[in-house]
Each structure stands twice: as structure tokens, then as C-alpha cells.
Structure 1
Amino acid sequence: MRQRPSSRLLVIDPGKRVLLFKFVHLAGALIGQQFWATPGGGLDPGESYEAAACREMFEETGIRIDHPGPQIAQRSTVFTLVEDETVSADERFFLIRVDRAGISPMHWTELERAAIAEHRWWTQAELAATADQIYPEDLAEMLRRAEIW
């Protein structure tokens, strides 16, 4: 099984809301699955977690940053990619504060355009009340430990 190091972004707006993308898979290995997840993705060859976080921030939100902020969590998980490859992911979570809630999908990949149905800024109460699948499952706890909520 391939190792997949990745940077995940905990993007927080001035209202202390967290940005999540809703993935709706209409084709491929994940067909029929729907879930909300943090922005982010795998590292390019030779790329650091911090550099990947900055690159992913720009690609997925249109916002350029020079530093991703502190790494506040790490997890290891196994999951299947849309291309039907199972990977073992080493995910590092970076806390990124932004001064506005707008994003741009201009730099999304073809896969992202096909799978991301919407984005939303979530409050603590909304996250606690939802029955939707959220990844990572302990997102609210991560944000509490980071003293966001």
C-alpha cells in the first residue's frame, strides 16, 4: 500500500467558522459517497508539509499564504482514492486564519471540479448538530484543543 503524506487545512474565518468542502462522488471508486472534508491534499515529490499546505491553500481557495500557521494535529488513516487506490495517509493539520470568508475555485483540478459540490463555513453549533459525514471525524475536538472554540 502506497504511503500518502498530506497536508490538511483548518481554515478559520473571522467568525471562527471552519471551511469544509462537500464531496459528492458521481463516478469512480467512491460512487454514491457524500461527505464534508477539510481542504488539502497529498504532497508533491520533495515537497514539505508546510509547502504543500501553502500550495493547497492557493489551489483550493485562491488565497495565497507564505506560511500555513501551526500544525495542530496529525493522524494516520487508510482510505480509498477516487481512482480506486487504497493509501495509507499521514495527515498533518495546519491552522490557517483568514480575514474573509470568500474562496475561488479557479485553480481546482478536474477531479476537484467533478467531486466538490459546494463549500460552506461551519460554526461549532452547526458541526455538532449535523448528521452528515465529516472528515476528520474529530474535527470539532481538534478545534477545541486549538482553542478556536
Structure 2
Amino acid sequence: MTADAAAAATADERPAGRSDLPLRRTARILLADDGDRILLFRFVDPKSEVPGGVFWGTPGGGVDEGESLPQAAARELFEETGLRVPQGSFERVVARAEGAARYAGQDLWYEDHFYFLRAAAFELDESGWEEVERETMAEYRWWTVAELAAAAEPVYPPALARIMPDLLAGRLPAEPFDADEARPGNSPVGA
């Protein structure tokens, strides 16, 4: 779904206290490989509010009308990586984040829902990327927790380096982590 379509599809849904911004619900994936590394995309978006317009974020994206969060997670993961997994692989939201952000020139209120998934190493397939992804997703790489903690560019969600050790050890939270906890400003994740 393009950023314009997402804004139009959610224009009537407004979170309490944020009536000035359209809502964009997202399903995002904290995808770890068998070497305990997490996949992140490097976004280059000069229209974002992030200084320099560069940040790293997880695979995932907008929930289409009539789609459940697990359906959106499975669809987005396939579109962005080529990895096909059943929607049943996304049983539990492990982290949440919300806030205002600008992505691809659109100011929206994001409700990000994060799922944790492990996968064996695979070759990423970019053929499912939509135009907005091709314009803003410059590269991807697998990160260790130590690399996340020492990242020179912003990583979203900000609490990722803090929550990943528990997830990698198989300790899934009973309630979703607050992925915004360490966030100094607003999260630009929203592709």
C-alpha cells in the first residue's frame, strides 16, 4: 500500500487526542536469523523529520482494510523480503509503538505492532517492493544486538537493542514491550 493510499484508507480513523492526523496501523516484524541477527532496512527519506532523513527500521508496513495484523505481517514480510510464512506464525504482538511521524511526505499517527520471528538464513528478494519502498529503502543488513546498541544512525524502534536479548533467548513478554520507551522524539517507521 502506498503512503497516499494509507492516508486515504485511514482518514476517518483518528486516535483520541490526535484528531489532526490520520491513523496508520502497521504490522512490523523483528526478524532474527539463526545467528541471532535482526534484519533492518536503511531508509533514506529526505521528507521525514529525522535529521538527515536517514534511519534504520524493521520489515513491515500498513494494515490494509479488512486485513488482520497477522495477515498484514505475513503479506508485508513476503513483499519486502520474499520470505513466505503462514499468518499463524504471528500469534503474539511482542512490542508496540505509537506516535506522529512523517514518511514519504505524509504526516500520520502510527500505531506500530511488532511480531518476533526466527528464520533460517535466506537471500532477500526485493521484487515485491512497491514504488514508495524502492524510493526510500536504500539497503538492508543483518545486525547483532551489540551493533544495534552502537548504531551511528537512528534505529527504530529505539528500544530494539534493549528488547532483543529477551526475544532471542525465547523470553516473549506476557504483554507487549513499550518499543517507544527510549524514544527521544517521534518514530519515523511506517513503510
Correspondence for 1:109 among 124, 127, 130: 130
CA contact (8 A) 1:53 1:68 kept: no
1:49-88 equivalence runs, <5 A: 49-66=69-86, 67-69=88-90, 70-82=92-104, 84-88=105-109
The one-letter code matched in structure 2 to 1:30 is S
Structure-1 residue corresponding to 2:184: none
Greater relative contact order (Cα 8 A, min sep 6): structure 1 or 2? Answer: 1
Correspondence for 1:22 among 36, 39, 42: 42
**Cα shift at 1:147:** 4.3
**Cα shift at 1:142:** 2.2
- Give me the TM-score of the superposition, normalised by structure 2: 0.71
Structure-1 residue corresponding to 2:149: 128
CA distance in 2 between partners of 1:145 and 1:108 (Å): 31
- Give me the TM-score of the superposition, normalised by structure 1: 0.90
**Cα shift at 1:108:** 0.3
Aligned length: 146
Q: Which runs of 5+ in 2 are unaligned?
A: 1-20, 171-191
Q: Which runs of 5+ in 1 are unaligned?
A: none
The one-letter code matched in structure 1 to 2:37 is R
Q: Determine if the alignment matches structure 1 residue 44 to structure 2 residue 64.
A: yes
Show CA shifts across 1:97-144 (max 9, x none).
111142110100011111111100000111112221101111112213
CA contact (8 A) 1:21 1:37 kept: yes
Which protein has the bigger strand share? 1
Greater shift, 85-94 or 6-15, is seen at: 85-94
Structure-2 residue corresponding to 1:146: 167
RMSD: 1.7
Show CA shifts across 1:27-68 (max 9, x none).
xx2394011100111100011111000000100000101033
The one-letter code matched in structure 2 to 1:86 is D
Structure-2 residue corresponding to 1:34: 54
1:107–1:24 CA distance, 2 compared to 1 (3 A): same
Q: Determine if the alignment matches structure 1 residue 98 to structure 2 residue 119.
A: yes
Q: Rg bigger for which structure? A: 2
Percent identity, aligned pairs only? Answer: 38
1:148–1:120 CA distance, 2 compared to 1 (3 A): farther
1:148–1:104 CA distance, 2 compared to 1 (3 A): farther
Runs of at least 4 residues of structure 1 off by over 4 A?
A: none
The one-letter code matched in structure 1 to 2:42 is K
CA distance in 2 between partners of 1:147 and 1:121 (Å): 14
The one-letter code matched in structure 2 to 1:71 is V
